[in-house]
Amino acid sequence: MTVRTFANPASQTAQPILSVLIPFLRDDPQPLLDALETEAAALAGTVEVVVMDDGTGDPDLTVAIETRIATFVLPVTLLTLATNEGRSKGRNRLATAARGSSLLFLDSDMRPDTPHFLGTWADLVRCDDPAVAFGGFSLLQAPTDRRFAVHRSMAAKSECVAHDIRALTPEKYVYTSNLLVRRDVFDSEGFDAAFAGWGWEDVEWAMRVSRRYPVIHVDNPATHMGLDTVQALAGKYEQSAPNFARVIAKHPDIIQGYPSFKAARLLKRIPALSAIRPWIRRVAMFEPLPVASRAFALRLYRAALYAEAV
């Protein structure tokens, strides 16, 4: 694998306790990097950022990012991969490149919700040094376009959950978009590289880790900016079905309590479900319907896909 590495001058003298790890593919992480840079002076080199282009293949973007971060006070390293490695392998590579004792996985389409986002994470590392901590999602800064209304509705219900509620089922509400992991924990439990496409690799990781380490939830959210259309979400669910099957095989005792598993098992009893499934998708795509109805249809479509695995 050919990897181009560019480290800005601030990285040379930094002694980070926390490494922020940001993978991206065919999008521009500069708005997020700019937001993180606003905290640089207060952090004084205790937090570094390692950002990785997972095979976008855009030399102009690479140069633009390198030029931008060269002037940053925040220590930043850019890894540019010649070909795509995928979500699990890519995050494992980022962890290898990091120098901090704790790792913060942050997706490139996230935006901090407070001006002291990194500072809060760094303080938590200094004071408590948790094995695993999730900071939470919000939609505070997310786009409000009508084409994203269904995803916004679904995310508000299932992902943007208060930290005290998340703590009741700690392994369930773990996503690699605002996730703190102590290095020794990650060294013992990396992401399963056998997961392909989209979905479930972070939840499976959390299931595995929660058997050995405590998973805590804190109130330090970031906005998920990357809302999808119904068509894009349906495509991701189609990709995720084999990953869901892998989770069932690895953690049957945990996954059986999840609503997605229960719904899939119920739908499996329906005769000719495979013939009905495309019609459920069409209902979700039908724009004149109320958002709540389309969201329900899309969840039903996901469960119908997952029925093949239960």
Both tokens of 57, joined, read: 């293949």
Flag whether the pTM goes above 0.85.
Answer: yes
C-alpha 227/C-alpha 91 separation (Å) is 21
Where a domain ends, among 196, 227, 258? 227
Question: Do 173 and 254 sit in the same domain of this protein?
Answer: no
**Residue 107: left (phi > 0), alpha (psi -120 to 50), or beta?**
beta
Question: Do 248 and 169 sit in the same domain of this protein?
Answer: no
Question: Do 218 and 241 sit in the same domain of this protein?
Answer: no
Question: Do 145 and 165 sit in the same domain of this protein?
Answer: yes
Check residue 126 and give its pLDDT: 96
Both tokens of 286, joined, read: 């039908």
C-alpha 206/C-alpha 239 separation (Å) is 20
Where a domain ends, among 169, 196, 227? 227
8 A C-beta contact, residue 297 and residue 284: yes
Q: Where are the alpha helices (DSSP H) in the chain?
A: 9-13, 30-37, 40-43, 59-69, 87-97, 117-127, 149-158, 163-166, 183-188, 201-210, 230-250, 252-255, 259-267, 273-285, 291-306
Check residue 152 and give its pLDDT: 95
Domain count, the chain: 2
Question: Do 247 and 177 sit in the same domain of this protein?
Answer: no
Check residue 116 and give its pLDDT: 96
What are the phi and psi torsion angles at 163 (to 5°)?
Answer: -65, -30
Where a domain ends, among 227, 253, 278? 227
Check residue 172 and give its pLDDT: 83
Question: Do 174 and 292 sit in the same domain of this protein?
Answer: no
Question: Do 23 and 171 sit in the same domain of this protein?
Answer: yes
**Residue 25 CB coordination number (10 Å):** 17
With a cut of 50, which residues of the chain have pLDDT below it? none
Check residue 198 and give its pLDDT: 79
Check residue 158 and give its pLDDT: 86
Check residue 114 and give its pLDDT: 95
